[in-house]
Chain A
Amino acid sequence: MNDIKPAVEVRAVSRTFGGRKGASVTALESVDLSVAPGEFVSLIGPSGCGKSTLLRLIADLDTPTSGELSVFGKPARQARVDQDYGIAFQQAGLLPWKTVTGNIELPLALHGAGRSERRARVSELLELIGLTDFAGHYPDQLSGGMQQRVAIARALAESPKLLLMDEPFGALDEMTRERMQNELVRICAETQAAVVFVTHSIPEAVFLSDRVVVMSPRPGRITDVIDVSLGGPAERDDSLREDEAFFRGVAKVREALHGVPVAGARGVDTR
């Protein structure tokens, strides 16, 4: 990997949640991961494999029990304070009392950007997500897919070089989901941001990613990393979904998830 200031560097990170009466849960056990600038990495695995926990650790919404974690060479906390990443969750999490514009400019407003600067950035982002006509609408007037696009625009507001996404399309229907994936490929190409993308959909991970990180639960750990890189953004359109290479990628990830040995795979989970 590119080891000059990777976007994300995770070294031997563990996270244990202490339960009551001494019962503790190991959500993550000695995880290593490096994400290069501009790289799209998906985290995939069954519930409880710690993929969301790992994302929350990178975002400094939680702190590791042990191990080291850096974002652009800084401690995660510093990266958060410096606004080095944008984040999107499964729920769009828009503020219901603010318009689309108000929601997108929220991080800018909170960090004291001037009015004209905010307007300019918002109109760029509205263009990017194709919702220019909805600038004055409120979240309850938008469909789920539109809300999620607004949430992505908000995450991109401060032009972060890293985008953290926790199942952002998880609540959308399949059609909307595929359209959003196409959009995301385009947006990532335009913004050049690295992405850490949590999902439990194999085709989604394969379609979007340069690399797919396969995780398994109890304790949460990385069992495999699969290179998919199905070409540049120009080639990644709906026709790719019917391409041989796409199916091969899907099969590889599925085999890794189900623990069937594949050539070159580390760690085998026999369940």
Chain B
Amino acid sequence: MSRRTAPLGRLALGALGIAAVIAVWEGYKAVAPDTGVVVGGTTVLPRSSDIAMPHVWDMFSRLSDPVIGTIGDTMWQTVLDAGLFTLRIAAFGWIIGVVVGFALALVMQRFTIAEAAVLPWIVLSQTVPLIAIAPLVRRWGSQITIGGFEWQSEHSVAVIAAYLAFFPVAVGVLRGLKAPDATHVDLMHTYGIGWWRTLVSLRLPASVPFLLPALRLAAASAVIGTVVAEVSIGLRGGVGRLIIEYAQSASSDPAKPWAPIFAAIAVGLVAAAFVGLLGLALKPYRRSEIPA
């Protein structure tokens, strides 16, 4: 917090970072042999042929070509649509995850016994591989019909994204709710206000510094969860499906698989930017009491 870079400087640093990645990629391609470096039958450095490592400019120019052949939708339109589709589901999953995580944290803060009972399960829940629960969620979901509502595959994907996203929120918010020191809690007690108003006027504001990193982690988890669940469930329309689909043409059209990867990165950036905006809105609550 002591050293702040100007916004313009931060932008320049970001651009420099991207330039560095490109430079390393192209630099390796220029220096390393096409077949990679093999020592005693083991490949120690990857192949640098155009099939294994297409040029960065080829990856980008591929975006403006049609997906297949010479006519039809351009690549960037297709991946943009897929990206928006994935972003929508991820956002949905993120919201569910945040609500569930928050609720769990509140219950755990309120009842010590709930913390002892629930927290180990929350930690355990994250050790279950996603590909194991994806079919389960879909099967359970397909049995749900409430009125006119019918469970779709994308709902299953959102639930799986939420399954990943709730974890950092539950743990982070719980820590945040416990963050006020004893003096603050005592003070609220002397004011004779109950748990609920202590929550609103003390614990929630005090939890913001812990909440923001948790929300950012949850956003990243929701995006990853969505992409992976799209693959596991076989949902069409999103980035996850495109990644699998385009990987098959890696040898004939090596720049193609990179397009949905860029889309996934873009979705992640949008999600991170959204949480950044939230952080800006909550800025007053990020002050510390310690004199600057």
B285 at the binding interface (Cβ < 8 Å): yes
Known A59-B190, A97-B285: A91·B291 in contact at CB below 8 Å: no
18 chain-A/chain-B pairs, Cβ below 8 angstroms? A59-B186, A59-B190, A60-B190, A61-B186, A80-B192, A83-B192, A89-B187, A93-B183, A95-B184, A95-B202, A96-B288, A97-B208, A110-B191, A110-B197, A139-B287, A140-B289, A140-B292, A142-B291
Binding site of B, secondary structure by majority: helix, strand, loop or mixed? helix
Number of residue pairs spanning A and B whose beta carbons lie under 8 angstroms apart? 64
A53-88 vs B, Cβ < 8 Å mask (1 yes, 0 no): 000000111000000000000000000110101010
A107 at the binding interface (Cβ < 8 Å): yes
Bound Cα distance A110, B196 (Å) = 12
Bound Cα distance A144, B292 (Å) = 11
B201 at the binding interface (Cβ < 8 Å): yes
In the complex, the answer to whether B193 meets A110 with C-beta atoms within 8 Å is yes
Bound Cα distance A91, B289 (Å) = 10
A144 to nearest B CB, angstroms?
Answer: 7
Per a CB cutoff under 8 Å, which of A59, A80, A93, A141 touches B292? A141
Look across to chain B and name the residue whose beta carbon is closest to the beta carbon of A143.
B291
A interface residues (Cβ-Cβ under 8 A, vs B): 59-61, 80-81, 83, 85, 87, 89-97, 106-107, 110-111, 138-144, 147
Per a CB cutoff under 8 Å, which of A83, A91, A139, A144 touches B181? A91
Please indicate the chain A residues that have their CB under 8 angstroms from the CB of B285 in the complex: 97
How many residues of chain B get a CB closer than 8 Å to chain A's CBs?
24
The interface centre, meaning the residue of B190, B197, B205, B286 with most chain A CB atoms within 10 A of its CB, is: B190
B interface residues (Cβ-Cβ under 8 A, vs A): 181, 183-184, 186-187, 189-193, 197, 201-202, 205, 208, 284-292
Look across to chain B and name the residue whose beta carbon is closest to the beta carbon of A146.
B291
Please indicate the chain A residues that have their CB under 8 angstroms from the CB of B181 in the complex: 91, 93
Bound Cα distance A140, B291 (Å) = 4
Bound Cα distance A85, B187 (Å) = 12
Please indicate the chain A residues that have their CB under 8 angstroms from the CB of B201 in the complex: 106, 110
Please indicate the chain B residues that have their CB under 8 angstroms from the CB of A142 in the complex: 291
In the complex, the answer to whether A83 meets B191 with C-beta atoms within 8 Å is yes
In the complex, the answer to whether A140 meets B290 with C-beta atoms within 8 Å is yes
A58 to nearest B CB, angstroms?
Answer: 11
Bound Cα distance A87, B185 (Å) = 13
Bound Cα distance A141, B292 (Å) = 6
Please indicate the chain B residues that have their CB under 8 angstroms from the CB of A144 in the complex: 291
A78 to nearest B CB, angstroms?
Answer: 10
Bound Cα distance A81, B189 (Å) = 9
In the complex, the answer to whether A107 meets B191 with C-beta atoms within 8 Å is yes
Please indicate the chain B residues that have their CB under 8 angstroms from the CB of A90 in the complex: 183
Look across to chain A and name the residue whose beta carbon is closest to the beta carbon of B282.
A97
Please indicate the chain B residues that have their CB under 8 angstroms from the CB of A92 in the complex: 289
A24 to nearest B CB, angstroms?
Answer: 22
Bound Cα distance A160, B184 (Å) = 19
A25 to nearest B CB, angstroms?
Answer: 19
Please indicate the chain B residues that have their CB under 8 angstroms from the CB of A110 in the complex: 191, 193, 197, 201
